[in-house]
Structure 1
Amino acid sequence: MDFNFENELAGKIALVTGGTKGAGKAIADRLLKAGATVIITARNKPEEQTSHLHFIAADLSKPEGTQQVVDQVLHQFGQLDILVNNMGGSETPGGGFAVLSDHDWEATLQTNLLAPVRLDRGFLPGMVERGNGVIIHIASIQATLPLYDATLPYAAAKAGLLNYSKSLSNEVAPKGVRVLTVSPGWIRTENVKFFLERISQSSNVSVEQAQQSVMDALGGIPFGRPAEPEEVAELIGFLVSPRAGYLTGTEYVIDGGTIRTI
């Protein structure tokens, strides 16, 4: 097969949730570069406005937010070919299981598990009808390497997302829709850079030493550094492309070797 890497997604409509910053922004830019029409969602407008990306403001942690996105995308663009469920995160306090309330658990599950489920449910019927489509779930290595002190609900939600993604793939692969999971490790986003600077200042160490302390807390990263957002985006760009046409139902870990077991 011959592929035009620079224009291989021409004619495709793609949605990247949480696409205004970090890995989400890098993914949106990567799909745009490949020729796709790209829609991004987040609660707040991107700091850097671009006419090339279509922005929808929505809170996907709420059912009405996901329905708003589904309705607006289908009304404006008619269909969706690529869905990258990238939005996620944890805002729960540290301190282990005892400090976590029902609200902490419910809010985390809504954002990291139920939002992707609802968006899939909204867009899958059209993909199945056309016999074509790709869904990417962005999970985390915490699904198998949980940090119980601070992100227990997040890790549990991502583990659920892994299981759901595999099950969904088994159901819709015979109907022409590919479903894949990408589990990044630590990514050097702008927020991470600010976080390291705060550690550096409060602990009177260099930024490099601060970064090493975080990597040590993760059990070490054999590659010696966090991933760059563009590296994660490049993997996504491949997985949604025709070059990956036989790949489905699989988890792809991009963590620099953080997880030491098979």
Structure 2
Amino acid sequence: MAHRDDIECWLTDMDGVLVHENDAIPGASEMLAGWEANGIPYLVLTNNSIFTARDLSARLRASGLSVPEERIWTSALATADFLKQQVPGGSAFVIGEAGILTALHDAGFVMTETNPDFVVVGETRTYSFEAITKAIRLINRGARFIITNPDATGPSVEGPLPATGAVAALITKATGREPYVVGKPNPMMFRSALNKIGAHSKKTGMIGDRMDTDIVAGIEAGLHTVLVLTGISDQREIAKYPFRPDEIVDSVADLLPTITGTIKTV
């Protein structure tokens, strides 16, 4: 087990770790600035496949956090990276928005409704019965079924919304085909992130707020795991699982200055 002082690279979740709604969590700005100032390789990870890295960089900037777009790794980017390895220059029928569409285009994929290599389902707020029906028929004809993330619901001001996992369940029921999930908790997303920054699992830490995605995937990828209590998980939630993170802290503020080399100011 690596000690925090031995960690040379960091991965961190976004929502619940760096931001809550549109507000920066205390300590997040100092942590990010410390990583940048000290040349510490890092990536901000998110299962959200709706937005591009540029969109998310702008969102974080509006919250007072400076994260260059090249420091953001989404489930959409991880999915495109995986599919490019599977079928270089392949084709896909996509249910999703700019995040996954842009990532696949940049990976050299062609979007088509005619005999695609893959049916890819990502996050969207405009699921259509017509598109879902088309996805079902294409999968039945042999297209491979991929989803960017398994989340069954997503947040909104009015309450939970059906998300990728819920739509995937509908398609699975109609086709009898289970999707391959690229995003968390699949440790593949972490491995692709490690490859992007040239990091080794034994020298990399993962900061997250969810036991069922961030922490379990971090453990399976061989990372030093840190759970913060500013998001989904609390002590009661932690007790439900048979595994434990390497560290549990109240927030990223409690990690300063150990992981940045900066002075704690929060």
TM interval, shorter chain, is 0.3 to 0.5
Higher relative contact order (CA 8 A, sep 6+): 2
Higher strand share: 2
**Which structure dedicates a bigger proportion of its chain to helix?**
1
- When the two structures are superposed, what TM-score results if normalisation uses the length of structure 2? 0.35
